[in-house]
Amino acid sequence: ILPGLTDDPLALEQLAQRAAAAGAKFLYGNLLFLKPSAMSQFMPFLEREFPHLVRRYRQLYARSAYLHGEYKERMAKLVAELRARYGLDGAREEPPMAGRQPQLALPFGRRL
């Protein structure tokens, strides 16, 4: 979830609703985190495409690559509510068990 870009509650609800209608079983939401290597690529993009958000992002990510506090809690609560509302908690049915496959032997020490 990108602050100011993809965090609109109505848009996230529509996403959850459509995902459930398409057969999705689980909804997961994670806030954007910006480690230095990602920050160096993302900020020029933000400056170019969404300059009105640059100040906010610099403030949000000034101390950490990860968001903390009220915004994070609010987004986590929203995702949890959407997960419950649309049955996207993964608990509808058990995932199919993978059949056991024989372990393949690698040809160590042998010439092919």
**Residue at token pair 């609109």:** 8
pLDDT in tens, 47-81: 999 999 999 999 999 999 999 999 999 999 999 99
Taking the domains of the chain in order of start, what are their residue ranges? Answer: 9-85
Does 106 have pLDDT greater than 90? no
Read off the tokens for 26: 């689980």
C-alpha span between 74 and 52 (Å, rounded): 22
Confidence of residue 35 (pLDDT cuts 50, 70, 90): very high
Are 59 and 70 within 8 A, CB to CB?
no
C-alpha span between 82 and 31 (Å, rounded): 16
3-state secondary structure 9-75: HHHHHHHHHHHHHCCCCECCCCCCCCCHHHHHHHHHHHHHHCHHHHHHHHHHCCCCCCCCCHHHHHH
Are 18 and 84 within 8 A, CB to CB?
no
* Global confidence as pTM: 0.75
Confidence of residue 96 (pLDDT cuts 50, 70, 90): low
Read off the tokens for 46: 């933000």
